[in-house]
Structure 1
Amino acid sequence: MELLLIGIGTGNPEHLTLQAIRALNRADLVLIPRKGKDKADLAELRRAICAEVLENPAVLAEFDMPVRDPANPSYLSRVNDWHDAIAARWAEAIAAHPGAKVVALLVWGDPSLYDSTLRIAARLPGAEVTVIPGLMSPQVLAAAHGVPLNDLGAPFLVTTGRRLREGGWPEGVDTLVVMLDGEASFRTLPPEGVQIWWGAYVGMANQITDRGPLAEAGPRIVAAREAARAAHGWIMDIYLLRRHPAKAP
């Protein structure tokens, strides 16, 4: 069985590459994860993509995503157990269609960056995994604001909100891209000299953005996040932080 992991971008069906469309049309079975009522539009987007680009009679197999065990105090153990449960759901959905030789899973963004689809796929014995890359939210955020991710001749670091809260600003870099941040962790940083470029639902029809000095834009962003979460039931956002490096004496 071949398992196609197809990057679909960040919510805009036009993000699909020609390679992604061709790969999707090779599939006998397309897995559609359901993540509960609050995130029903994520499954609906995948259905809409299939309806728009599928030319063959592939079967859509929907399954309910398991949730992490909040009682497990270990983050890594909690996530590994969750991945085991997801792999089991995939296996159940595939086993229900024994004739499927090519199975596709539509992956938000790209499977290579802060996404565990490849790690979960490794739990399926005998599956031949093919990855189709997709646009990632850092790219779409930079495009929305019309800014480069890196400063001239300088590196940037992609990290998570959890690591930013726990470790502060990492040493050796002046530009951060922060993903998977459910708590607006930029509030834990000293705002002086820091600029922020923020976006939620980037690439989708309901995309919202803000930018400016962190001291000024931060409170606006916090308010916008709360309003958007209340309106949609969920939020996915990302932001770029850049500070001015200290001048050499």
Structure 2
Amino acid sequence: MMRLLLIGMGTGDPDHLTFQAVKALNSADLLLIPAKGEEKSELAELRRGLCAAHLRNPATRIVEFAMPRRDVAREDYLEGVEDWHDAIAEAWSAALAAHPEAERAALLVWGDPSLYDSSLRVAARLAARRPLEVEAVPGLTSMQMLTAAHGIPLNGLGASVQITTGRRLRDEGWPEGVETLVVMLDGGCAFQNLAPEGIDIWWGARLGMKDQLLDKGPLAEAGPRILKARAEARARHGWIMDLYLMRKTAQRA
């Protein structure tokens, strides 16, 4: 039975792989790297850099495959994502089928496989079709990278934290009873829809990379700076991975 390793790679810095992740990487005889497309090109290069830094097993074969794109124009968001996951499962299945000799295949997953990542769901689709054991190897998340970069705790003292998406923040506003909000997958900067009074924000983009971007402060002051920095970064790179933490001012400690 083939074993599929989903290895959390953090945000691309070779120093952020755990010993467990390095061990798992070197145990694989097949490593799949998603490629194709302008955005995937840089991510593929980051994965190649991680392999150059940590892969010492000469028997590990590195194979690149075309990663399907999500149809962002679909009116039903969840239905569109489900179809996208089906397409990714087909791409994984084809890549694995082309190498039936592999017993331990691996994928380097951005951040951690458990946090706003589809890898475990896609793997479950594969496991429903063929004999397959799936193992998740945890990695540093961008949320941890953000709090470390700013030198702040994730939570206020004895207070609650909620992790959400830009889409939900835009549609639903600030959740009731929540002091700290971590917002991910926000291409539209949904913090603009909030009344900024009494809110502090800590923002980060391309965390862990040499050109990482950081900003912080009262939302009314930092918000416009973040919009400008984000637009400039998108113009340079064509894509950007960013997130932010917001806290009610009274809960900043």
TM-score bin, normalised by smaller chain: over 0.9
Q: Equivalences for 1:1-249 in 2 at 5 Å? A: 1-57=2-58, 58-70=60-72, 72-124=74-126, 125-244=130-249
With normalisation by structure 2, the TM-score equals 0.94
Give, in whole Å, the separation in 2 of the partners of 1:153 and 1:129: 36
| Contact persistence 1:39–1:233 (CA under 8 A) | no
Residues 209-245 of structure 1 show CA distances to partners (whole Å, capped at 9, x for unaligned) of 0000000000000000000111111100010000135
Deviating more after overlay: 183-192 vs 68-77? 68-77
CA displacement, residues 13-36 of structure 1 (integer Å, 9 cap, x when unaligned): 110000000000010100101151
Equivalenced residues, count: 246
Gap change, CA 1:136 and 1:70, over 3 Å in 2: closer
User: How many angstroms apart in 2 are the aligned matches of 1:143 and 1:70?
Assistant: 32
TM-score, normalisation: structure 1: 0.96
Contact 1:39 1:234 in 2 (8 A): no
8 A Cα contact 2:34 2:40, kept in partner: no
| C-alpha distance in structure 1 between counterparts of 2:113 and 2:42, whole Å | 20
Q: CA deviation at 1:41?
A: 1.1
Alpha-carbon distance, 1:70 to partner: 4.1
- 8 Å contact from structure 2 (residues 13, 50) kept in 1: no
CA distance in 1, matches of 2:194, 2:48: 40
Q: Tell me, in whole angstroms, the C-alpha distance in 2 between the residues paired with 1:178 and 1:123.
A: 28
Question: How many Å apart are 1:69 and its aligned residue?
Answer: 2.8
Q: Which runs of 5+ in 1 are unaligned?
A: none
Residue identity matched to 1:27: A
Identity %: 64
Q: Deviation of residue 52 (structure 1)?
A: 1.7
Q: Distance in 1 between matches of 2:97 and 2:7?
A: 20
The separation in 2 between residues aligned to 1:244 and 1:237, in whole angstroms, is: 22
RMSD: 1.2
Q: Which amino acid aligns with 1:85?
A: A
Runs of 4+ aligned structure 1 residues displaced above 6 Å come to none
Contact 1:11 1:201 in 2 (8 A): no
Name the SS for the 2:203 alignment partner. strand
SS across alignment from 1:25: helix
**For the residues of structure 2 that align with 1:50 and 1:38, how far apart are their CA atoms?**
19
Letter in 2 for 1:103: A
Instruction: Note the residue ranges of structure 2 that are not aligned, 5 or more in a row.
Output: none
